Structures are given as structure tokens and as C-alpha cells.
Amino acid sequence: MYPYLKRLIGHGLALAAVIGVLALPQRTEAREAAGVRPAARTDAPAARTVTFRGRAFDTCQAPPVSTLRAWRASPYRGVAVYFGGRGRACPHQRHLSKQWVADVDRMGWRVLPAFVGSQSPCVRAKNKRHVRIGRAPWRQGRKEGRDAVSAAKAHGMLAGSALYLDMEAYDEGDRRCARTTLDFVRGWNREVRKHAYLPGFYSSAESGVRHMERSRKAGVTDLPSVMWFARWNGKPALYAERVLPRHAWAPHRRIHQYAGNVSEKHGGKRLTIDRNSVDAPVARIGR
């Protein structure tokens, strides 16, 4: 019986080793999603960033170059563009291209790239519910992070550029939904950083931004590097936002969207815009 028992144990150990190897990728992904980084892994070194401090506007469609030329008479020097993502309200950007980005950069505009990808499962806006995050949020976040980097490169935005993930307001009090959303955001951030871009995050101050701040206090890894918070109180208040301590996301890591859907006319050209106060990294543009 003893030789037979030894052979049986040996076969069992071999089978266990095979099962362990087959299960390893899933364990690794679960550990990464939990914030445990593999010891052999290193992130790509951070590239040089360009910081802008001043006023910026965003609008659904990137305006024609002629409009931005006229708007040099305005107090704005930054313009946000929705350069990618399946959740964009204006997916067909008539003017936005690599040439557009280069042209407005030469005019002195600073570009803030916004990526509107999959949205939280408990997103509040009905028009975003068709693009909710699926059952594998970490993998989906990383995949869309790669999409964001590819789109940025296609528009002439170099490594070191800040790319802002637009996550519309959601019920961050729903724990299951909040966990799914956070896993997606962290996966997206991890992938963007891997390619030496800087991950930023846009959301409502009372929703996604408060959620990220709670996660920061809890010691969660792979959080956004820059916080773009929406609070439409009409007053720029970069470092007086009540859900963010002054030391969090500082220095030069904040954007405040302080008014929305306002109409302005400069140089004879009228646009409906959101107003932003910026002290944060923007896109680095290749020439």
C-alpha cells in the first residue's frame, strides 16, 4: 500500500500545481484590482507635464478654429475637448482632429482632453444608462484606458498629457455600485499611467469627487492624479471645495467647473459653454 500511496500523493501534488498555474491570471487580476501590485511590476516613468492656471471653457462640440481665433478676445485661455469614449453626448466631432489640436495650440490655447467612457451602473442621467459599466469593471477600465491613450496619440497629445475621465453623477451611497465604479476608475487610471499619461477625473463634487476623496482617506491605490469637480455655484473656488481638504489633490491638481450651460459671445462668435477655473496639467501637443 505504501508505494501506491506515494504515487497517489505525487499525482495529487502535480494536479494541484497545474490548477494553480491555470488560476494564476485570475488571482493576479483580483490582487491588482484590490490594490496589491505584483513585486516585479514597475509603472512607466512619469513624463514631463504642462500646467495651466487660468480660465477654461468646455462645450459639447469642439468649435471651429475660426471661433477659437475670435475667442482670443475672451478671458479664456483653455478649452476642453471630448476626444474619445463611447459615452460622449457629441460622438461625431466635426472639427476635432490632430490638425485642429495643433492649430489651437499654436494660437496659445491650452487643451484639456476629456474622455467620456462607460458610466457608473447607478448613473443618474437617463441618457447615459445605455453605456453603463459591465460585469468586469477592472478589465473594462483598463481596456478603455488603452482606448483613451490611443485616441490621445491620434490627436497629437504626447506622453505627460493629462487625460480626464468624465464620470457623470451617480449614487455613490449604493455600496455595490460604488465598488464597481471605483474598480473601473482605478483600472482606467492604472492603464493611463502605464503609458506615461496622467489620469484625471471629472465628476460632480457631491458624487464621484466625494467618492474619490473617501477612497483616498481609506488608502485606496490607483486613484486619479487630478480632480475636476463640478459645483455650479457661480464662483471659482479651487481650494475652497467643501468635500476636498485643501491638501488633497494639490498643488496644481484641481479644476473647478463653476457654471454650466451659459451663453457667451466674443469676437462676434457665440457659444453655449461650461465655465472652469483651472490650476492643473493639460495636454502636451506635438508639433
Q: How far apart are CA 203 and CA 138, in angstroms?
A: 19
Angle at 97 between CA 95 and CA 100, to 5 degrees: 75
pLDDT digits (tens, 9 = 90+) for 1-12: 334 333 433 444
Domain range 52-282, its CATH number among 3.20.20.70, 3.20.20.80, 2.40.40.20, 3.60.110.10:
3.20.20.80
Strands 226-230 and 110-115: unpaired
32-41, 104-113, 162-171, 251-260: which has the minimum mean pLDDT? 32-41
Q: Is there a contact between 101 and 285 (Cβ–Cβ < 8 Å)?
A: yes
How is the chain split into domains, by residue range?
1-32, 52-282
Query: What are the pLDDT digits (tens) for 151-201?
Result: 999 999 999 999 999 999 999 999 999 999 999 999 999 999 999 999 999
Cα gap 88→82, rounded to integer Å: 7
* pLDDT tens by residue, 51-76: 999 999 999 999 999 999 999 999 99
